[in-house]
Structure 1
């Protein structure tokens, strides 16, 4: 289907998805760029529509993917100007997908576990994470280590924000996303068999001096304030990452990556 008017209903829908309230209302988000779209097409049941500008699309893989799914996935064809006007990338690749969000209920986490090597027993809980780039990067790191996903607690940024999606790449199709308020999470984790380890500058042990029994949830505090006293009290243990320079903390995504790789390192022969 070729569209030339910026007032077309589908164009208005795509543009609206740059705002959180419309992403939440529709349950949709935008994946921009060839890499993300190719990954999305491995899950065609979640793809509502492909959006293409053939003048911008230079990849043979992109053309092949469109031809492969054109019979089952609607394709919206736009000219260069209209396509560029509704995308957030400075240099759009000429292909995007409108994809359905996927959320896992908190109570389903235990049902996902298969065995200790599956990764389904390692999660990251983020307390009031504020920056979408951090969230997307953490999702990508969880994918890299084979973790199960991320639990968003409190007033978290939207994981489907365009900046988060660009940072997370294909992790949006491999990682589970859970959201809960603190009371729900507290009740659930106290009734589960998960160990909860929190990261704190004044943790009792350095992160390499601690053990990380599975099933495990790593709790990471907000960018500005870390984990608060109630969250600390909930944890089974607190670990610190040593700081030898002038800065007193690491970026949230970097700190999460350091801890995740330590967990994985301890589990490998």
Structure 2
């Protein structure tokens, strides 16, 4: 279920919508009404409901009068590879849907290729994850796999794995980021295990000057992603892909 007019628009743009539900008396946004008209013109089913019904089925308080039910994408790990997905993020058993959505949004913002969810954790289609992703869910591949599957696939594909830890040997700003690469983030509670650390080609750390010993998962991932972005930009990575 996709809530929020912007999010519904992104789902429609990606062609993932099975049907729309609208409450005509509360859908006051001209953009939202245009979305409904365009969806109907394209043959997408649209079901009108009362404001009371919309309030009952919506996850958010004070819904905007429009939501979508979208098809779930099932992407296989083996369908990804370094040629088409040279820069990925892997999260080990993430527990907070808001974090997962925010990380997917950051992945889209920096031009990274997609997200890997390892050893379970939150559903990327949780309503909070959908909202936090701000449409990125519909434009970046998301794959669920076990860590063992991921490890074999990453090595076979020639990916360089950058792990993150408070005990990392290299400052995140000094790493030589070389694609194809994967940023591997450990679980919110335990970080990376010894087995997961052993897979890493480099183990990176963020400087911690105050009393805090860690950062929120989404914030830490965003910092790493922009460090990688800047390093790749200096290497001409984005210019090469644009051409």
TM-score (norm 2): 0.93
What is the distance in 2 between the residues matched to 1:112 and 1:48?
Answer: 31
Contact 2:82 2:159 in 1 (8 A): no
CA RMSD of aligned residues (A): 1.1
What do the CA deviations read for 1:6-42 (whole angstroms, capped 9, x no partner)?
A: xxxxxxxxxxxxxxxxxxxxxxxx0001001111111
Extract unaligned runs of 5+ from structure 1: 1-29, 114-119
SS in 2 for 1:238: strand
1:104 paired with 2:100, answer: no
What is the distance in 2 between the residues matched to 1:226 and 1:49?
Answer: 40
Contact 2:5 2:67 in 1 (8 A): yes
Aligned residues: 233
What do the CA deviations read for 1:186-226 (whole angstroms, capped 9, x no partner)?
A: 21112111100000110001101111100110000011110
TM-score (norm 1): 0.84
Match of 1:170 among 128, 131, 135: 135
What is the distance in 2 between the residues matched to 1:237 and 1:111?
Answer: 18
What is the distance in 2 between the residues matched to 1:201 and 1:223?
Answer: 13
What is the distance in 2 between the residues matched to 1:95 and 1:235?
Answer: 44
Extract unaligned runs of 5+ from structure 2: 235-243
Which aligned runs of 4 or more in structure 1 are off by greater than 2 angstroms? Answer: none
Match of 1:66 among 36, 57, 61: 36
Residue 216 of structure 2 is matched in structure 1 by: 251
How far apart are 1:111 and its partner, in Å? Answer: 6.7
What is the distance in 2 between the residues matched to 1:111 and 1:267?
Answer: 15
What is the distance in 1 between the residues matched to 2:230 and 2:147?
Answer: 30
What is the distance in 2 between the residues matched to 1:175 and 1:211?
Answer: 25
How far apart are 1:81 and its partner, in Å? Answer: 0.6
* TM alignment of 1:152-167, pairs within 5 A: 152-167=117-132
